[in-house]
Structure 1
Amino acid sequence: MTNYQSDLLRLLNDRGYIHQLTDAKALDTLANKSIIPGYIGFDVTADSLHVGNLVQIMLLRRLQQSGHKPIVVMGGGTTKIGDPSGKDEMRKILDDEGIASNFAKIRGCFENFLTFGDGPTDAIMVNNDDWLGELEYIPFLRDIGRHFTINRMLTFDSVKLRLEREQPLTFLEFNYMILQAYDFVELSRQHGCKLQLGGSDQWGNIVNGIELGRRIDGAELFGVTTPLITKADGSKMGKSVDGAIWLNAERLSPYDYWQFWRNTDDRDVGKFMRLFTDIDLDEIARLESMQGSDINEAKKVLADAATSMAHGEKAAKEAAATAQQVFEQGGAGGDLPVHLVESDEISILDALVGIGFCASKGEAKRMVAGGGARIGDEPVKDAGYMIAVSDQDIKISAGKKKHGLLRRP
């Protein structure tokens, strides 16, 4: 079914978010006549979300844009277990203090994407530890566990793939799908939640929750999953050659975030605009049809729109201006990362590590040997090279796309 009547499913379909959904006709009818509270869960395993989480955040934004209510579920409880989906090994177990710290830092990732408040379509944020942390083991096994068969649980990809690769799957992780299913039940009871959204790897978990809600409460619940978002070269969205593209400015500067989108493959421009910006579909069709060097202008539009959404319009304008200074005018730019140097000189290796372009001196040495390090616009080929530091900023570069400044305090 693609001839949707509701604003919600039309919007999701037109922008390329729909991979699978349960009972499309009933969901479409419900979305057309009432406000649907819908949720996505985010485990707090790091102190920032990244671009790999962005399609899910945008799903909640689309839910709100089409007149429905987003529920952001922070996995304070499920993080203690760890989602085995797509993993070959068990996640590191965080203590309560680490989870609380990550929770506080991740909260801000959503504020530029969603409107929070007390209104009927305002977003709310909840912590599943509020109900999972109160569960008693024996009653939970008796009341909830009896609705799950080992036979069926073994067929889910999160379990099957781990076993096929002969990687250990702990009993702790095996319980994750039951806890996630129970989340849906609690959200249905507490907030009238009717819809769970997620990536394609969450399909089994979502269906579990729908079936559990029907069995124990007689609730009619629904699920929608997105396709796996990959780049044109086949690599997974959310990663670059330098690692994760974080959403928190403390982990990745707005300038580097802007650059990530500016460096999008020509073939991905239209798809990424539909998924990750609010640019009108007709305008996207015009921009993605550009050929040759003109497509670079479309990429700047994408970078401006994506950065404005994550970091605000002011940060996006500053990032674009810095990029123009660095690449078009040969300047240093005012929004580049800065490393403060207290002494009169610093080695090229210490500078590359200190500014964050390399994780170790060994990596920095390999970069210098490969010709990727530059001071000003001059390549540095001697790993023992010492940089004289004065009162003027010194531009340091790693490859063609990473630039920063060495500065006296």
Structure 2
Amino acid sequence: MSDVLDELQWRGLVAQSTDEAALRDALGAGPVTYYCGFDPTAPSLHHGNLVQLILLRHLQLAGHRCIALVGGATGMIGDPRQSGERVLNDKETVAAWVERLKAQIAPILDLEGENPATLVNNLDWTAPMSAIDFLRDVGKHYRLGTMLAKDTVARRLSSEDGISFTEFSYQILQGMDYLQLYRDHGVTLQTGGNDQWGNLLSGVELIRKVEGAHVHVLTTPLITKADGTKFGKTEGGAVWLAPDMMSPYAFYQFWVNADDADVVRFLKVFTFRSREEIAELERSVQERPAAREAQRALASDVTTLVHGPDATKAVIAASQALFGRGDLAELDESTLASAVAELPRVDVAPGTPVVEAFVGAGLVAGRSAARRAIAEGGAYVNNVKVTGEDATLDPAELLHGRYALLRRGKRTLALAVVDPEAAGRP
């Protein structure tokens, strides 16, 4: 069990701990009960939360007892941000997001095996507490000087907007969670991102003052790219885990596009591949970079972890089919729509000449260029080579009755969406 700390350090999943030697001894002495909290301040977890879930899973696989906390209470307040006050969501919204987050956590942690993880909601012990009980039983153990010294609080206080008492109290609520789980489940380790260090220590100090016990905190580093820039931003925003906020296809493509300089480190952090497997993939990056074997392994593993093997199989099939290495007709409409979502598109009427579709989609500069592409054998509709300049978009050959994938050459793609009601329009 103690070896798991070495494994986590090798994978780059450890930034700080309260007392590494004591934590190592505790992990080696028997199963440690640990937890991490996830606040429903959005309808989905993101890649940063995924780092925490993977850390929880490593500890669970090593035989330690996992508790995942979804913050039905803390989610109604939100951890103070450096940029200003959060917008408070209503209780119904937060409750709905709690259920969404639980559904995203469940596939990653083992909830039913010999060492099952437990899901808890801090609203269960926070909601029944009166304001007087909160101030007397918890608040009296906090000193304002310590609370004001927290980095985010200090920054907010020096800003024009300041910080409300609501967000200022967040660190007390998080500390109370640790105390409650210590009492109810014997939790002695809390994990989280390194930016949460101050909030995590809140619980350590509270337990020391109230129970006279010493407990632990372990944080993960902020994951960055090799060039030092922030990791996890896309044109659409964050890398969400919910499929209705980021499709499995887009999710897979995000990981498969990892830079050679980053991919080995990401394999260590985001997958459960062995050291030997990762070493082999690292050699492939050095010796066969064009094959992108490491990127495909990373994308496959992470997509399977979050969305399941069937979704991964579908997105790989879609990726291959777009470029003629699979059957487009076998893709369901949802997967196809996700795969072509970022392509240039043109809306056309049934029977539109292929030449006009290519021009309208911007694949060629004009009709002459479109005819030349057809004559040279470089024009395709749904991966079928166009052989005549008078070819049209045949309604009988459309994908799902409305889509035509246009391709010029090997890799230049666009989408024609056929609108049956557009027939006969000028």
Equivalent-residue separation in structure 2 for 1:380 and 1:101 (angstroms):
49
1:202 matches 2:187:
no
> Deviation digits for residues 262-287 of structure 1, max 9, x if unmatched?
00111111111111111111221221
Give the superposition deviation at 1:223.
0.2
User: Which aligned pairs between 1:363-374 and structure 2 lie closer than 5 A?
Assistant: none
Asked if the contact 2:317/2:326 (under 8 Å) is kept, the reply is no
1:248 matches 2:233:
no
Give the superposition deviation at 1:214.
1.0
**Which residue identity is paired with 1:97?**
E
Give the superposition deviation at 1:15.
1.0
1:88 matches 2:83:
yes
Equivalent-residue separation in structure 1 for 2:228 and 2:322 (angstroms):
30
> Deviation digits for residues 72-93 of structure 1, max 9, x if unmatched?
1001000111110x43122221
Asked if the contact 2:197/2:219 (under 8 Å) is kept, the reply is yes
Structure 2 partner of 1:261: 255
Asked if the contact 2:361/2:414 (under 8 Å) is kept, the reply is no
Asked if the contact 2:65/2:117 (under 8 Å) is kept, the reply is yes
Aligned with 1:67: secondary structure?
coil
Structure 1 partner of 2:267: 273
Residue of structure 2 aligned with 1:151, choices 145, 148, 151: 145
Structure-1-length-normalised TM-score: 0.82
Asked if the contact 2:70/2:101 (under 8 Å) is kept, the reply is no
Equivalent-residue separation in structure 2 for 1:404 and 1:180 (angstroms):
49
Equivalent-residue separation in structure 2 for 1:13 and 1:23 (angstroms):
15
Give the superposition deviation at 1:293.
3.2
CA 214–325 in structure 1, closer or farther in 2 if over 3 Å, else same:
same
Structure 1, unmatched stretches of 5+, are 341-351, 359-372, 382-387
Asked if the contact 2:42/2:97 (under 8 Å) is kept, the reply is yes
Residue of structure 2 aligned with 1:116, choices 95, 111, 118: 111
Deviates more, 1:165-174 or 1:234-243: 234-243
Equivalent-residue separation in structure 2 for 1:26 and 1:56 (angstroms):
21
Structure 2 partner of 1:98: 93
Give the superposition deviation at 1:324.
1.6
Equivalent-residue separation in structure 1 for 2:88 and 2:413 (angstroms):
33
Deviates more, 1:312-321 or 1:35-44: 312-321
User: Which aligned pairs between 1:210-225 and structure 2 lie closer than 5 A?
Assistant: 210-225=204-219
Residue of structure 2 aligned with 1:38, choices 12, 34, 39: 34
CA 272–243 in structure 1, closer or farther in 2 if over 3 Å, else same:
same
CA 356–315 in structure 1, closer or farther in 2 if over 3 Å, else same:
closer
Query: What's the % identity of the aligned pairs?
Result: 39
**Which residue identity is paired with 1:48?**
S
Aligned with 1:246: secondary structure?
coil
Q: Which runs of 4+ in 1 moved over 3 A?
A: 164-167, 292-295, 327-333, 335-340, 355-358, 373-377, 388-391, 400-409
> Deviation digits for residues 298-330 of structure 1, max 9, x if unmatched?
111111111111111222122112112224649
> Deviation digits for residues 129-174 of structure 1, max 9, x if unmatched?
1111122112221221122121111111121222344332111000
* Structure possessing the higher radius of gyration over alpha carbons: 2
User: Which aligned pairs between 1:60-99 and structure 2 lie closer than 5 A?
Assistant: 60-84=56-80, 86-99=81-94
Deviates more, 1:283-292 or 1:210-219: 283-292
Structure 1 partner of 2:363: 378
Cα RMSD for the two superposed structures:
3.1
Asked if the contact 1:76/1:129 (under 8 Å) is kept, the reply is yes
CA 319–163 in structure 1, closer or farther in 2 if over 3 Å, else same:
same
